[in-house]
Amino acid sequence: MPRSLVALGSNLGDRGQTLARAVELLRANPQVSSLACSRFRETAPVGGAPGQGPFLNAAVCLETTLAPAALHADLRHIEDSLGRQRNERWAPRVIDLDLLLYGDLILDTQALQVPHPRMAFRRFVLEPAVEVASDMVHPAIGWTLARLLEHLNAAAPYLALLGLPGRGKTVLATSLAQVFQGCFVADTLSRADNPYPSDPPSRVYERQIQFLNRRTDLLDRGQWLQDDLLAISDFYWDQCLAYARLELDTRDFEIFCQAAERARPRVISPKLLVVLDIPPDGSASVRRPQGSDRLRNELLCLAGHPHRGPVLYVNSSRLRSPFDEVSAAIEAMK
């Protein structure tokens, strides 16, 4: 039977009694066995309207013969039986049960996403989860939960934004840096977003190396901030590989990749990579330059590469929504 991981939370009513009852109801299911529950931990609310009370959070690791959809339905049934009201997102709630992991399954449907899309960078999820399932592996990232929590504790307070040009990365990064009293790291060589196919191959290669070197200097770990100041960049260092793959011929791209691997040890890694993504069928009002679909695919491939660490995917068609999403992520990492 696959091991599954469930997060529990409550910030209304008798929180401890509600969580305990939810665990009892899970244990009572004959198709659930080997259930282990973490301690209950009090945490500050993340996202939603101000003035909410603190949460009690916990995690349960269990084995079950239920299929993922059936387990998810059982969690919803327990929520309903305990008085869960499904109002606006991130509103106060009597009980919240989220299916985080189901073995090594990766599932993305309208009804259910496994792994949970925000579990990898939420402290209030990872701390209780590590208590009961530290060795479970996040199948999309390839890291154990213990390593994800270690990354959250040890990584520099740095967020990198990745996305197509003209999708609001710079505006979002500067706004977040201002609100969180952090530092904005600007991609000063943004002309990389506008290829010049008429240039001779030698000039195209030189330009890509220039972009690589400049971004390496900006993110040089030897020059990095030595305090807890949050830094947010409107670029991701690895995006150089996506642009180079599209612009260079095979031989030059191989040489470029070798240069990038030599530079990589110098570069600070983000605590969280934020992907601002407008799908191919996005708003018609958004400019879609020629070749943007190919570039989007390259960027998404980079973001989804295993062992790169936590990633937050945000639809960037409206600035307010990405700002709220990333702000909540920043709060959840504290």
Q: Could you tell me if 30 and 93 lie in one domain?
A: yes
Asked if 79 contacts 95 with a C-beta cutoff of 8 angstroms, the reply is yes
Q: Could you tell me if 65 and 133 lie in one domain?
A: yes
Catalytic residue positions, numbered: 84, 93, 96, 98
Q: Residue 155: exposed, middle, or buried by beta-carbon count in 10 A (0-12, 13-18, 19+)? A: middle
Q: Could you tell me if 148 and 163 lie in one domain?
A: no
What Cα–Cα distance (Å) separates residue 333 from each residue in 124, 168, 216, 330?
Answer: 8, 23, 25, 5
pLDDT given for residue 196 in this prediction: 46
Q: Could you tell me if 86 and 169 lie in one domain?
A: no
The two tokens of residue 284 are 């018609």
The three-class DSSP label of residue 44 is coil
| C-beta neighbour count of 23 within 10 angstroms | 19
Which 8-state DSSP code applies to residue 54? P
Domain end, chosen from 133, 153, 173, is at 153
pTM to 2 decimal places: 0.92
Q: Could you tell me if 147 and 269 lie in one domain?
A: no
Q: Could you tell me if 79 and 46 lie in one domain?
A: yes
Angstrom distance (rounded) from CA 47 to CA 113? 20
Which 8-state DSSP code applies to residue 257? H
Q: Which candidate, 128, 133, 144, 145, places its Cα nearest to that of 59?
A: 128
Q: Could you tell me if 145 and 25 lie in one domain?
A: yes
pLDDT given for residue 86 in this prediction: 74
Q: Could you tell me if 87 and 132 lie in one domain?
A: yes
Q: Could you tell me if 176 and 95 lie in one domain?
A: no
pLDDT given for residue 194 in this prediction: 47
List per-residue pLDDT tens for the chain, 334 residues long. 889 999 999 999 999 999 999 999 999 999 999 999 999 999 999 987 788 999 999 999 999 999 999 999 999 999 999 998 877 777 789 999 999 999 999 999 989 999 999 999 999 999 999 999 999 999 999 999 999 999 999 999 999 999 998 888 999 999 999 999 999 999 876 544 444 445 566 688 999 999 999 999 999 998 876 678 999 999 999 999 999 999 999 999 999 999 999 999 999 999 999 999 865 544 434 444 456 889 999 999 999 988 889 999 998 554 458 999 999 999 999 9
Domain end, chosen from 106, 137, 153, is at 153
Q: Which candidate, 330, 218, 213, 334, places its Cα nearest to that of 274?
A: 330
Q: Which candidate, 1, 309, 321, 292, places its Cα nearest to that of 152?
A: 309
pLDDT given for residue 168 in this prediction: 87
Percent helix, strand and coil across the chain, each to the nearest 5: 40, 20, 40
Q: Could you tell me if 313 and 182 lie in one domain?
A: yes
Domain end, chosen from 100, 135, 153, is at 153
Read off the CATH number of the domain in which 80 is found. Answer: 3.30.70.560
The two tokens of residue 285 are 């009002």
Q: Could you tell me if 140 and 198 lie in one domain?
A: no
Domain that holds residue 290: 156-333
Q: Could you tell me if 165 and 86 lie in one domain?
A: no
Read off the CATH number of the domain in which 180 is found. Answer: 3.40.50.300
Domain count, the chain: 2
- C-alpha count within 13 angstroms, C-beta hemisphere, residue 297: 6
What are the DSSP calls for 58-96, one per residue? Answer: EEEEEEESS-HHHHHHHHHHHHHHTT----STT---S-E
Angstrom distance (rounded) from CA 184 to CA 21? 46
